[in-house]
């Protein structure tokens, strides 16, 4: 049971790895006052803490493959019933397969929530690869930089808190290829899944991050209201 009625429809940010979903989910979530739920971040956190789930996920992630639907769905089911999710939430990196999307629909219906609104981040393959190879993340606050497009003021250090900036283990070129191919095979069909339900908004994700946030907020303002 949620104490507060949802303020907005649950949002799903869809797009290839490197399309900017994480950066935008953080920015938009802050502005809308709802949590950002990144299944990738949750797995990385488990892996860093060395939990059983983390150990299982780590090997799969390092190969650029997807963790099993059962594991991911159970993790998300626990997360979205937490009190901070009551007003709404942004899912970043979930669902990633059609079965995950179907199970999300069931979960939402069971908890009396409205159906999701999906945002499809469209971007060229060349830009994806540049974004992924250039991505660096702050180990302290999770802020995302890019050495080509959005470098920090001091090399290797976060502008916010001076934390060390690290490259993700799966942002190496050989793993990137596998991740992009997993996206095409398993996640791309979700675009049609949500389009057929009239629940898809397309955005041009080639824009600069601040400009894209502005456009997204404009686009979502009317659409997310219940
Ligand atoms: P991300 O940070 O979203 O790029 O996710 C990093 C990795 O975590 C992916 O390459 C997968 O191995 C795993 N992962 C994250 N979300 C999911 C999901 N919804 N389904 C399966 N695996 C996932």
Query: What whole-number distance in Å separates Cα of residue 190 and Cα of residue 105?
Result: 13
When the pLDDT of each residue in the chain is averaged and rounded to a whole number, the result is: 92
Residue 55 has a pLDDT of 93
In contact, 89 and 34? CB cutoff 8 Å = yes
Q: Where are the domains positioned within the chain? A: 11-34+87-221
- Catalytic annotation present for 55: no
What average pLDDT score do residues 149-178 get? 94
Q: Does position 2 have pLDDT exceeding 60, yes or no?
A: no
Residue 173 has a pLDDT of 85
Cβ(17) – ligand 1 distance below 6 Å: yes
Query: What whole-number distance in Å separates Cα of residue 126 and Cα of residue 4?
Result: 44
pTM of the model: 0.89
Three-state DSSP class for 8?
Answer: strand
**Topology annotation, domain 11-34+87-221:** Rossmann fold (3.40.50)
The 3-class SS string of 90-159 reads EEECCCCCHHHHHHHHHHHHHCCCCCCEEEEEECCHHHHHHHHHHEEEECCCCCEEECCCECCCCCCECC
- Catalytic annotation present for 21: yes
Residue 149 has a pLDDT of 85
What average pLDDT score do residues 169-190 get? 92
Read off the pLDDT of residues 78-116 as tens digits, 9 standing for 90 and up: 999 999 999 999 999 999 999 999 999 999 999 889 999
Going from the C-alpha of 19 to that of each of 7, 13, 128, 183, 209, the distances in angstroms are 27, 10, 6, 11, 11
Give the rounded percent of residues in the chain with a pLDDT score beyond 70. Answer: 97
- CA nearest ligand 1 atom 5, residue: 40
The b/e string for 156-195 (b: 16+ C-beta within 10 A; e otherwise) is eebeeeebebeebebbeeebbeebbebbeebbeebbebbe
Distance 44 CA to ligand 1 centre (A): 9
Residue 174 has a pLDDT of 86
Residue 4 has a pLDDT of 64
Nearest CA to 146 among 162, 168, 125, 173? 168
Distance 119 CA to ligand 1 centre (A): 18
- From the list 79, 122, 157, 168, the catalytic residue is 168
Q: Which two tokens stand for residue 39?
A: 């299944």
Pocket test for ligand 1, best of 21, 25, 43 (most atoms within 8 A of CB): 43
Per the model's pLDDT, the better-predicted residue between 221 and 23 turns out to be 23
**Burial classification of residue 48, based on how many CB atoms lie within 10 Å of its CB (0-12 exposed, 13-18 middle, 19 or more buried):** exposed
- Catalytic annotation present for 135: yes
């Amino acid at each position: 049971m949620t104490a507060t009625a949802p303020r907005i429809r649950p949002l799903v940010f869809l797009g290839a790895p490197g399309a900017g979903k994480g950066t935008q989910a953080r920015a938009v979530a802050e502005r809308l006052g709802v949590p950002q739920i990144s299944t990738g971040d949750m797995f990385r956190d488990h892996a860093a803490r060395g939990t059983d789930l983390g150990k299982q996920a780590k090997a799969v992630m390092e190969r650029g493959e997807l963790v099993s639907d059962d594991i991911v769905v159970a993790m998300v089911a626990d997360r979205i019933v937490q009190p901070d999710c009551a007003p709404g939430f942004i899912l970043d990196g979930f669902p990633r397969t059609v079965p995950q999307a179907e199970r999300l629909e069931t979960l939402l219906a069971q908890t009396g929530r409205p159906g999701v609104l999906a945002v499809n981040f469209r971007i060229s393959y060349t830009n994806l690869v540049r974004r992924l190879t250039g991505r660096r993340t702050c180990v302290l606050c999770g802020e995302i930089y890019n050495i080509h497009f959005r470098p920090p003021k001091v090399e290797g250090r976060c502008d916010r808190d001076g934390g060390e900036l690290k490259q993700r283990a799966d942002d190496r070129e050989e793993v990137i290829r596998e991740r992009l191919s997993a996206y095409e095979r398993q996640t791309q069909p979700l675009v049609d899944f949500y389009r057929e339900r009239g629940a898809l908004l397309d955005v041009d994700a080639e824009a600069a991050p601040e400009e894209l946030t502005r456009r997204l907020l404009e686009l979502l303002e009317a659409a997310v209201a219940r």
